[in-house]
């Protein structure tokens, strides 16, 4: 993508956009619209969508915004984003102010040093973030690989659901995460993973029928309450990584039921359950 186009934008190419320079707002007109090339929104605007709007992204086109979003739909005035591509259709790049996405159907997004509050968002396949602050409430993820990945970001989740991840569901790399009443079902990889010194707190977490339930690696710290059921391995603390340090996982009021293996602990790392240290099976090579 041409950097000059990315910086200056190409909003003049799309007749369904209305720009109000006095208010500093870019609006999408109500209706059903087709994008066959990337839409580039420059910085300095508020990119606003109010339903009813259906944006169809074809030929793998994407929406790339350097401005914050204010997208809001409702049951009778929906906002729907669809794509025929395999990439996330929305990229939010250093927008400079907080964004809001409410009651929207959106298959995926990538955020880079952005503050985003998303509520009642449906049909998400993937959300990958680098830095920033992400607040998710009643967001539903379905299918896809590596459904939610946050790198050195601050994440909070409330009442979110993850289903059918083809690999890992929630991955927190560095940074912090506070997860409340999050359900993860049928992940073919790891349901909840923390690594590179991440600090994760999960209360009311419900993990079912996944390969691994909770895994910590490379000096991560996880505090979790809830349940892990019918997984191959419920809890895994990888070994003390020489460059990073040990993993610490604390389980409080955690139900472990129907798993092939409940706890595996690598050399130097630790798992505690209701305050007592657990002596789980060592993995091959101490991993």
What Å distances lie between residue 104 and 41, 55, 123, 146, 250, CA to CA? 19, 11, 9, 21, 36
| pTM of the predicted structure, to 2 decimals | 0.94
Contacts of 12 (CB under 8 A, 6+ apart): none
Specify the pLDDT at position 143. 95
Domain that includes residue 18, residue range: 3-286
End-to-end Cα, the chain, rounded Å: 42
* Residue (of 67, 75, 76, 22) closest to 48 by Cα position: 67
Specify the pLDDT at position 285. 39
Specify the pLDDT at position 282. 60
Q: Tens digits of per-residue pLDDT, 6-47?
A: 567 999 999 999 999 999 999 999 999 999 999 999 999 999
Specify the pLDDT at position 6. 56
Instruction: Work out how many domains the chain is built from and give that number.
Output: 1
* Residuewise pLDDT in 10s, the chain (287 residues): 444 445 679 999 999 999 999 999 999 999 999 999 999 999 999 999 999 999 999 999 999 999 999 999 999 999 999 999 888 999 999 999 999 999 999 999 999 999 999 999 999 999 999 999 999 999 999 999 999 999 999 999 999 999 999 999 999 999 999 999 999 999 999 999 999 999 999 999 999 999 999 999 999 999 999 999 999 999 999 999 888 999 999 999 999 999 999 999 999 999 999 999 998 666 543 44
Place of tokens 């049928």: 186
CATH of residue 179's domain is: 2.160.20
Contact 69, 101 (CB under 8 A): yes
Q: How is residue 107 written in tokens?
A: 């298959």
Q: What is the 3-state secondary structure (H, E, C) of the chain?
A: CCHHHHHHCCHHHCCCEEEECCCCEEEECCEEEEECCCEEECCCCEEEEECCEEEEECCCCCEEECCCEEEECCCCCCEEEEECCCCCCEEEECCCCCEEEEEEECCEEEEECCEEEEEEEEEECEEEEECCEEEEEEEEEECCCCCEEEECCEEEEECCEEECCCCCCEEEECCEEEEECCEEECCCCEEEEEECCCEEEEEEEEEECCCEEEEECCCCEEEEEEEEECCCEEEEECCCECCCECCEEEEEEEEEECCCEEEEECCCCEEEECCEEECCECCHHHC
Contacts of 217 (CB under 8 A, 6+ apart): 193, 194, 195, 196, 238, 241, 247
């Amino acid at each position: 993508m041409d950097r000059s186009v990315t910086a200056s934008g190409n909003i003049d190419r799309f007749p369904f956009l209305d720009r109000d320079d006095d208010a500093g707002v870019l609006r999408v007109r109500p209706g059903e619209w087709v994008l066959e090339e990337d839409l580039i929104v420059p910085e300095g605007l508020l990119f606003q969508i109010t339903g009813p709007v259906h944006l169809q992204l074809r030929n793998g086109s994407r929406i790339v915004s350097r401005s914050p979003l204010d997208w809001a739909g409702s049951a009778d005035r929906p906002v729907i984003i669809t794509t025929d591509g395999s990439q996330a259709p929305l990229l939010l790049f250093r927008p400079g102010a907080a964004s809001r996405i409410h009651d929207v159907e959106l298959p995926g997004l990538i955020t880079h040093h952005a503050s985003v509050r998303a509520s009642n968002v449906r049909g998400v396949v993937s959300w990958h973030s680098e830095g920033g602050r992400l607040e998710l409430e009643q967001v539903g993820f379905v299918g896809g690989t590596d459904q939610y990945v946050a790198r050195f970001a601050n994440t909070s989740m409330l009442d979110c659901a993850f289903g059918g991840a083809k690999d890992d569901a929630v991955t927190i790399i560095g940074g912090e995460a506070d997860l409340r009443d999050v359900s993860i079902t049928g992940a073919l990889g790891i349901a909840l993973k923390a690594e590179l010194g991440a600090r994760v707190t999960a209360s009311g977490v419900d993990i079912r029928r996944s390969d691994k339930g909770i895994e910590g690696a490379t000096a991560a710290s996880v505090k979790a309450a809830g349940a892990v059921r019918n997984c191959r391995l419920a809890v895994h603390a990888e070994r003390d990584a020489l460059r990073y340090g040990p993993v610490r996982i604390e389980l409080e009021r955690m139900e472990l039921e129907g798993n092939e293996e409940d706890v595996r602990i690598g050399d130097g790392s630790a798992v505690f359950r209701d305050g007592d240290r657990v002596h789980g099976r060592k993995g091959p090579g101490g991993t």
